[in-house]
Amino acid sequence: MSDMTNTSSDNSTLNDTEQELRARYLEIAELAGGLAHEIRNPLSTISLNLGVLREELDGADDPRDQRMVKRLAAIQTECDRLEDFLNDFLQFARVMELNFQAVDVSEFVSELIEFIKPELSQQSIEISPHLGTNLPAVQIDEALFRRGLLNLTRNAQQAMPDGGVLEFQTYLADDQVVLEIIDTGKGIPENVREKIFDPFFSTKTGGSGLGLPTVCKIIEAHQGEIQCASEIDKGTRFRITLPVLPKSD
């Protein structure tokens, strides 16, 4: 009886802690959203005025005016980059409130493949699906999970600029549903691979460094895990594990 009481008390403490952490997280996310909004407003004004100035100088023959056009274009590029960063940051900060649904991962991935197939075929990337059948359902927020998988797919595309193979695998292992996304791209160096899930770390010029960290947060919000294995000039494998949805009595 005493042990049962202690367990209940421990669970209550954990629930209280989880609620407190959730409340703090939501507060931070709200502050982040407000900050991004305050930055976006003047940024939009700057971009608008840059467009007006470029239109006024459009077709100018004077060398000085032509130099000004190039400088304005460079400023516009930086404004666009900052806008992209704000969007990435908001996605990273707001991964918390989920709308869970019971989903068959193989069916979900099959629909995703149909969506991305036309674009990948133009890049000479072959999709190779190996999707398990009759897998137990998992709980996911479809829109958020899809965003995460599309992010991984874009990374694979960038790793195979001359074409290759993108493989999707789903199967059951140790009472967990596993999804693997494997490309035949250029691979990730070990010193980079150790940091790819760190916020703001990027090897891409102008990259926000929030793409893969956001994917990691999405998977963790689903009580799952994501791992990466890679070999130079051979490819990269992302392995996602998700807990099986308990069967109702």
Six token digits for residue 90: 């908001």
Nearest-angstrom CA–CA distance, 172 and 108 = 15
Nearest-angstrom CA–CA distance, 223 and 217 = 10
pLDDT digit string, tens, across residues 103-131: 999 999 999 999 999 999 999 999 999 99
Handedness of CA 202, 204, 209, 211 (dihedral sign): negative
pLDDT at 19: 62
pLDDT by 10-residue block (mean), the chain, 249 residues = 40 54 60 69 82 81 83 84 73 67 95 94 94 93 89 92 95 94 93 84 67 85 90 94 78
Nearest-angstrom CA–CA distance, 168 and 113 = 9
Range(s) within the chain of domains with CATH label 1.10.287.130: 2-93
Fold exhibited by the domain 101-243: Heat Shock Protein 90 (3.30.565)
Nearest-angstrom CA–CA distance, 46 and 158 = 31
Phi and psi angles of residue 181, each rounded to the nearest 5 degrees, phi first? -120, 115
List of residues 6+ apart from 126 with CB closer than 8 A: 120, 163, 164, 165, 166
Range(s) within the chain of domains with CATH label 3.30.565.10: 101-243
pLDDT at 32: 66
Name the architecture of domain 2-93: Orthogonal Bundle (1.10)
pLDDT digit string, tens, across residues 179-204: 999 999 999 998 888 888 887 777 77
Cβ proximity of 182 and 166 under 8 Å: yes
Handedness of CA 85, 86, 90, 93 (dihedral sign): positive
- Encoded amino acid at 187, one letter: G
pLDDT at 17: 58
Handedness of CA 32, 28, 89, 177 (dihedral sign): negative
Cβ proximity of 168 and 125 under 8 Å: no
pTM: 0.67
